Structure 1
Amino acid sequence: MLHRTCESLLIITILLASTFSFADIKHGLRDNDGRHMIPRGYVINTNDHAGSVDFNPEDYLRMVRMGANVQVIRLEMGKLSELGDNTFKPEYLARVKRATRLGREAGIKTVFKMTVYGAKGFSWENLYLNKNNEQEIYINAWKHIWETFKDNNYVIGYDLVNEPRKKDMDISYDQLTRQYLLPLYEKIIDAAIPYSDNKQFLIQSIFMNKGDAINKNQYAEITKKIDRKNIIFAPHIYQENLDYIAPTMERFDKESKLLDAPILVGEWGFPTFVTTDNSVKEQLNYIEFYIKTAEIFDEMGVGSIKAWFLGNRTYQNFLPGGPSTWAIFSDKQAIGTVERKYITDIIARPYPQIIAGDIQNFKFNFATRTLNLNIKSDNAKGVSRIFVGSDRHYPDGFTAYISDDLIISKSPMKTGLEVHHSTTNTQPSEVIWDNDKQQLILLSWPKDKTHINLKIKPGVYKAPDPSVKTSK
């Protein structure tokens, strides 16, 4: 049975060759040093349906070893605002500060996302129409965050309104977006700028009512530009239908061009049903559409945030397939450690985290376990980091080929890197393996201001035997 399962997985990954193609990626972000960054990580909940959740340093190291360089902390508006019977809770802000600090200490940057779950008395219609000063109350909730983190360079920015809804309003999605949502975004951004003018502002489109969708995707289209700077388009995609993944991402790319904003997918990954953990057939189905989604993300160069970095002590029951969850661990506790590997092995795939230069394109081939990366180097910008996930993806070791200049391998039997080939003037000591973080670190590229191809392949390099003749 196991042999047939592995064989089926190989067939699936080979068949998932995507036709979605970009020459030089325009997405990703730039850090303070101008390095090209691909944000990838997890939604970090401060609560689940059963109560509060607080992670520890060990959990953040696990995030890093699963490829995270960004966390999106899901804020609870009810604990930050004075809406209705809600009151600001300083102890909640202290928990948020702790999570941000633990992220920074692990090398993870932070985005904050405001949610209205549990905010008693909240109404989407009242927020849009601002009947009783609701917009100012909403902005005041944000101000606690803006003031606290205005000088924190590890805070990238703010996801301003999570999954805005239309509910029972008698208005089209396009009218609601143009007349109310976009002006609300502009008002919030204007209030935030005095605190810090270098933070990024993440925006989403209207989350459509049940029964409404575009290509089975419940997010309305944005057809008007926001007249503000530092915008990131942060759509969500929860798509299990293979035929609609590429069209949805193509539509998001169109909106990105209109907004003049790179894409950071704020949430992705169809939820898991109770039955999936015990069904090989269902898991293979998940592997198929998760891989297809991941490949398109990488070909576009977009960052992506997976929901949720949680254990599984609760389920939700809103899908026809029965109880489901976004938790990536199957433990029946808030902080899980038992991975749903049919999901996590795809999330935690190798990729360029941050590059001194410009990323032109990259892709991880799941069938061959090969990462192919093309960049234009710029050593003045500093250090580059490639997440490899060696323990997960290369238990047989891996070999890195850096153009024709360097061949370096990491054996599972040894602690460091072994140099197999280096051209004159290269410095192999500039390439370092960080086993704790599962990252390949390049202090500098062998050549500057030029095209460089980096390939990472499974197995430890073996030089060709000159005594063995090969047929031409």
Structure 2
Amino acid sequence: MFKRTAARLGAAIVGPCLAALALAAPASAAPGYFGGADRYITYPDGRVFTPHGFNAVTTLPPLHPAFLGRDDARLLADLGFTGIRFGFEPEALEPDIGNVDMEYLGKFADYDRLLGSYGIGTFMVLNQDNYSRRCPLIAGLVGDGFPDWMLTPRTTTGVLTHEQCMAAWDSFHENAPAADGVGLRDHFVRWWEIAAERFKSHRNIIGYNVVNEPRQTTPERIRTLYQQTNAAIRRIDGDHLLFLEDEPASQYSPLPLPLRRADLGAVGYSDHNYCIETLFSTFYDAPIGDEMIDRCIGLNQRQLDQVIDYVGRERFPYYLGEFSATDELREQTALVDAADRAFAPWAVYAYNAQLDGSGPQQQRFLIDEQKPASLANAKPAKVDALVVPYPMAIAGTPQRWSFDRSTRVAQLTYSTQRAGGGSFAGEPKTVVFIPRAKYPTGYSVTVRGGKVTSDPTSPWLQVAADGGASDVSVTVTPRSDGVTRTPLEVDQCGYDLAPCGERPAPPEPPKPPVPPAPKPEPRSVPRTPARARLALTLRASRSRIARGQTVALTLVARNRSSQALSNVRTCLRLPAGVRVRTAARGARRGAACWTTRRLAARGTASARVVVELRGTVAARRRLTVRAGVSAAGAHSASAARTLVVTAVAPRARARPRAGGR
């Protein structure tokens, strides 16, 4: 995720990588599966697919997006979004050697079924951030991903140093043995064998993102990792696209981009486009000025231009896996428009913030994540930035797209030649999403080389090419005397325009890939059951704090349900400059998270944590301490407390002298 970009300054993307991957993803879509042609993702029928969407990655317990329910799927579908990037965490999949939690992967199968019923495709990424939950990031945050047993040599307590975490990466790439004698990289490959077996029947999955932001790579290391992993996946699942990532690099110099199709075969490519200046300013609550934004827009555009030229030459199907992570919308809007002009699918970071320990709350799409998802609960400025017209399906090869936000004029030009060559079966239609948010009073269409086949009020503008036409151009302009309906109103949702919420579910796998056998999966909507609910209060011993001063925080988790809960996880999210001085009882030294093994029905669990302001923070600055509590089978809860920074430590009130003076 975006938070690992701390290492991007001065980092180098891998060298000549990934040789001889003959067992890579198919160049064209297998029947019913998404595929690739040249640099484009394609539908099974060969049309170019350019999904818009979000990341929904959770790096705090329960390590899957338990917040995601039918109201979220309906909101996303009604706003025209057609892609979600999920991340499953190895530390939850195999927390102890040999203890594989198939129910955990089953959660993601549920989410994919839910989103697929609304025509929202998914990307599945094996997620890690700087290797381990015990590895430091920035602004007091820690990483996630690999379980503790993947750390060699084992370190039993505390947060590791950056050098120790990079040494752990070295051990991983060198396939050093874990405690069971099996190599660390071999364990990684086995995770993907398990995931491929579980997800191979899910045709709603657009592709597998093999690993999120690998580190400590060399050309030989990354080639070996992907050769071994891709070959293992292909033995089980020969249909889904595989997307590969490089190690993050600095935007301040040309990107190396060394991967070659001749070495890789027909795989896909994904990158993350973050400007380090606005990202770090958001983390550290620093001002973001116009000059910085202008500079970042230029850097983002330069990275995108380099990548688009590169994937075009190498014919790698491409998607922009992460960007933004802030509420700075001028930069975000510029990158959305640039990606759309390049026909690049994108997934903004992020839909959620509540269960993601990766950074500031500005990244989220909803105003209040404790309330149901709805248009009224979505940030209006982000709706304006992200909900735009776009060519979702193109029956040919894209040539040009533009959307002028001031005039609301959109223009598309494409060749009727199928991308990657060949011909279409039948007469597939080009589909352009027309959002009510941009065309509330309707739209008009002018077509050259084709004809409109959709209703004039439909959010899905459909165009069929004329017989013999080599090119088609479409121009959309706003009108003032009509109406634009939404996908839910016309009951056509997502990439296939099928009835909303009514697609058939993929078949269950015939047998479990590894012991223990997975339990039968629930058929209900995968939302946290209403029978259990947690509450959390957070109190501070003082409301003002100076550098070097401590504050005692008291957290009380309350089980409001009539049944006991196990493994209740409580975590603090501390602002920049604030560190744990004394951890909660039973927690590791310096840790901001701890687990209550059992919380009785209607019971409470209290913890006291002492924190210290160690960084240099301007006086009168307000620092927000946030906390969250979660447990399997329960609604999570959160709380916050604001501390005001003073120039010097507040003095204790003087006691009156004897005699009243």
Q: Structure 2 length as normaliser, TM-score?
A: 0.53
1:308 paired with 2:350, answer yes
Aligned-partner Cα distance in 2 for 1:102–1:140: 27
C-alpha contact 2:444 2:479 (8 A) present in aligned 1: yes
- Choose which of 89, 109, 112 in structure 2 pairs with 1:100: 112
1:211-226 equivalent positions in 2, closer than 5 A: 213-215=250-252, 221-225=256-260
Aligned-partner Cα distance in 1 for 2:247–2:402: 31
- Choose which of 66, 81, 91 in structure 1 pairs with 2:103: 91
1:149 paired with 2:199, answer yes
Aligned-partner Cα distance in 1 for 2:210–2:62: 26
How far does residue 124 in structure 1 lie from its aligned partner after superposition? 2.2
Aligned-partner Cα distance in 2 for 1:178–1:258: 20
Change (3 A) 1:396 1:48: farther
How far does residue 162 in structure 1 lie from its aligned partner after superposition? 0.1
1:403-414 equivalent positions in 2, closer than 5 A: 403=448
- Choose which of 235, 249, 266 in structure 1 pairs with 2:321: 266
1:295 paired with 2:337, answer yes
Aligned-partner Cα distance in 1 for 2:366–2:61: 16
Aligned-partner Cα distance in 2 for 1:316–1:228: 32
Question: What secondary structure does 1:193 align onto?
Answer: helix
1:395 paired with 2:408, answer no
C-alpha contact 1:350 1:387 (8 A) present in aligned 2: yes
- Choose which of 115, 122, 127 in structure 2 pairs with 1:115: 127
The one-letter code of the counterpart of 2:209 is D
| Corresponding residue number in structure 2 for 1:236 | 272
Question: What secondary structure does 1:290 align onto?
Answer: helix
Question: What secondary structure does 2:264 align onto?
Answer: coil
Aligned-partner Cα distance in 1 for 2:257–2:472: 37
Question: What secondary structure does 1:455 align onto?
Answer: strand
| Corresponding residue number in structure 2 for 1:70 | 83
1:50-65 equivalent positions in 2, closer than 5 A: 52-54=64-66, 55-65=68-78
Q: Deviations over 1:412-459 (max 9, x none)?
A: xxxxxxxxxxxxxxxx6x314686xx32344x3455543111111111
Matched residues, percent identical? Answer: 17
The one-letter code of the counterpart of 2:272 is H
1:185 paired with 2:247, answer no
| Corresponding residue number in structure 1 for 2:379 | 340
Aligned residues: 378
Aligned-partner Cα distance in 2 for 1:353–1:404: 19
Change (3 A) 1:446 1:47: farther
Q: Deviations over 1:331-376 (max 9, x none)?
A: 1538654222322322221101012222222122111112111123
C-alpha contact 1:379 1:448 (8 A) present in aligned 2: no
Question: What secondary structure does 1:349 align onto?
Answer: coil
Q: Tell me the C-alpha RMSD between the 2 structures.
A: 2.9
Aligned-partner Cα distance in 2 for 1:405–1:263: 28
C-alpha contact 1:27 1:300 (8 A) present in aligned 2: no
Question: What secondary structure does 2:258 align onto?
Answer: coil
| Corresponding residue number in structure 2 for 1:159 | 209
C-alpha contact 2:214 2:247 (8 A) present in aligned 1: yes
Structure with higher Rg: it is: 2
The one-letter code of the counterpart of 1:248 is Q
C-alpha contact 2:90 2:147 (8 A) present in aligned 1: no
How far does residue 190 in structure 1 lie from its aligned partner after superposition? 0.9
C-alpha contact 2:390 2:433 (8 A) present in aligned 1: yes
The one-letter code of the counterpart of 1:129 is E
C-alpha contact 2:206 2:241 (8 A) present in aligned 1: yes
C-alpha contact 2:392 2:433 (8 A) present in aligned 1: yes
1:207 paired with 2:244, answer no
Question: What secondary structure does 2:321 align onto?
Answer: strand
Aligned-partner Cα distance in 2 for 1:261–1:402: 31
Question: What secondary structure does 2:188 align onto?
Answer: helix
453-462 vs 361-370, which moves further = 453-462
C-alpha contact 1:111 1:155 (8 A) present in aligned 2: yes
Change (3 A) 1:332 1:42: closer
How far does residue 98 in structure 1 lie from its aligned partner after superposition? 0.7
Change (3 A) 1:324 1:107: closer
- For structure 2, list consecutive stretches of 5 or more residues without a partner in the other structure: 1-36, 129-143, 151-167, 178-182, 279-295, 417-423, 483-661
C-alpha contact 2:124 2:207 (8 A) present in aligned 1: yes
Aligned-partner Cα distance in 1 for 2:321–2:371: 22
C-alpha contact 1:403 1:454 (8 A) present in aligned 2: yes
Question: What secondary structure does 2:56 align onto?
Answer: strand
C-alpha contact 2:244 2:267 (8 A) present in aligned 1: yes
C-alpha contact 1:401 1:454 (8 A) present in aligned 2: yes
Q: Deviations over 1:3-31 (max 9, x none)?
A: xxxxxxxxxxxxxxxxxxxxxx9643121
Change (3 A) 1:97 1:128: same
Change (3 A) 1:229 1:329: same
How far does residue 262 in structure 1 lie from its aligned partner after superposition? 3.0
Question: What secondary structure does 2:232 align onto?
Answer: helix
Question: What secondary structure does 1:244 align onto?
Answer: helix
Question: What secondary structure does 1:194 align onto?
Answer: helix
| Corresponding residue number in structure 1 for 2:57 | 45
1:442-461 equivalent positions in 2, closer than 5 A: 442=463, 444-447=464-467, 449-460=469-480
How far does residue 159 in structure 1 lie from its aligned partner after superposition? 0.4
Larger helix fraction of residues: 1
How far does residue 243 in structure 1 lie from its aligned partner after superposition? 2.4
C-alpha contact 1:215 1:244 (8 A) present in aligned 2: yes
Change (3 A) 1:159 1:453: same
The one-letter code of the counterpart of 1:452 is V
330-339 vs 31-40, which moves further = 330-339
| Corresponding residue number in structure 2 for 1:330 | 367
The one-letter code of the counterpart of 2:426 is A
Aligned-partner Cα distance in 1 for 2:449–2:235: 49
The one-letter code of the counterpart of 2:116 is R
C-alpha contact 1:373 1:453 (8 A) present in aligned 2: yes
C-alpha contact 1:312 1:334 (8 A) present in aligned 2: no
Change (3 A) 1:46 1:131: same
| Corresponding residue number in structure 2 for 1:33 | 45
The one-letter code of the counterpart of 2:169 is W
Aligned-partner Cα distance in 1 for 2:64–2:355: 12
